[in-house]
A and B are shown apart, each in its own frame.
Chain A
């Protein structure tokens, strides 16, 4: 019996879909059977990030309404044979699926995989309720910004109300240089506010854009810092004890001068 994780954030654009794609791919690289579900009905994204957009025949809503069997809708990844995607429907009908159907679907899928990752849409409405309906655990993604942390806090409250206990936190898009100069909230600040368990930190990384352009998750690129961070996160999910990544890339010349002159407090 697999475990269902919902990846959520409240705020849009903080990296839920990228996170889902990368953790899923990294878990499959470790040999686990993984199914990714795109729960963002109407705004299909995860297929593009995974590079599987050309292979969609059926979608989540088709399965929920019995228009096809689950196996027909699941798209197998070209790179890993234990990795599958269930794409979102493109329908405009907000009520195309309800939480009970979603829950039943998750129950069915998790019988045959180790990890089921649900990519939750932004917001706190119907789409959120659907996405969390079948989840055992939640991963909250945020960035070190006031608005994103605030929305994450709301989401943590709503997860509690949905009886999903002990959500895990990923802080995405950290810029070590800005943290050092005091222009970005650091990891400890965010944890202090949200008070939940930290699953991992991911540096802001241009290679993510390149990998999204190509439809190849960054975890496949051995040189990507963000990819490395997501590989670490995936190993933590499987229960391995992996230390947090060191985001310092060595300091630049000016940083060193400033430090020697005592102009930096950190």
Chain B
């Protein structure tokens, strides 16, 4: 009953159980799919490195890439020491 009243009077802010399910699924699937194999992570690292190397000289050995998860979000965190910038032809 309370729910019904909430629904009627606060229609805009009230979250239906479907909305809650949708949001929970989004997070759960994101976490599940994060289970990247070391091989995929390695490929990602190589691809990233190749792109960055076009612009700067980086310390490839101490480069770190990780997926960090917490309750509400997931971030790809990369720590890539730059040794020097390349001189770009049009800058």
Do A and B form a real pair? Answer: yes
A125 to B11, CA, bound (A): 45
A187 to B16, CA, bound (A): 16
| A-contact bits for B14-37, CB 8 A (1 contact / 0 none) | 001111011011101100110000
What residue in chain A is nearest B12 (Cβ atoms)? A265
B16 touches A182 (CB 8 A): yes
**Which chain A residues lie closer than 8 Å to B40 at the CB level?**
none
Q: Chain B interface secondary structure, helix, strand, loop or mixed?
A: helix
Kindly state whether residue B8 has any CB partner on chain A within 8 Å.
yes
Within residues 155 to 198 of chain A, which ones have a CB less than 8 A from any CB in chain B? 157, 179, 181-186, 189, 193
B11: contacting residue among A149, A157, A265, CB under 8 A: A265
A149 touches B25 (CB 8 A): yes
**Which chain A residues lie closer than 8 Å to B28 at the CB level?**
146, 150
A153 to B7, CA, bound (A): 32
A153 touches B32 (CB 8 A): yes
A265 to B7, CA, bound (A): 11
B16 touches A146 (CB 8 A): no
A146 to B26, CA, bound (A): 10
Most chain-B CB neighbours within 10 Å: which of A145, A182, A265? A182
B32: contacting residue among A150, A185, A263, CB under 8 A: A150
**Which chain A residues lie closer than 8 Å to B22 at the CB level?**
185, 189
Q: Report 28 cross-chain contacts, Cβ distance below 8 Å, ordered by A residue.
A: A145-B21, A146-B21, A146-B24, A146-B25, A146-B28, A149-B25, A149-B29, A150-B25, A150-B28, A150-B29, A150-B32, A153-B29, A153-B32, A153-B33, A157-B33, A179-B18, A182-B18, A182-B19, A183-B16, A183-B17, A183-B18, A184-B18, A185-B18, A185-B25, A189-B18, A189-B21, A189-B22, A263-B8
- Residues in A lying within 8 Å of B, measured CB to CB: 145-146, 149-150, 153-154, 157, 179, 181-186, 189, 193, 263, 265
Beyond contacts A145-B21, A182-B18: 19 other A-B pairs, Cβ-Cβ < 8 A, are: A146-B24, A146-B25, A149-B29, A150-B25, A150-B29, A179-B18, A182-B16, A182-B17, A182-B19, A184-B18, A185-B18, A185-B21, A185-B25, A186-B18, A189-B18, A189-B22, A193-B25, A193-B26, A263-B8
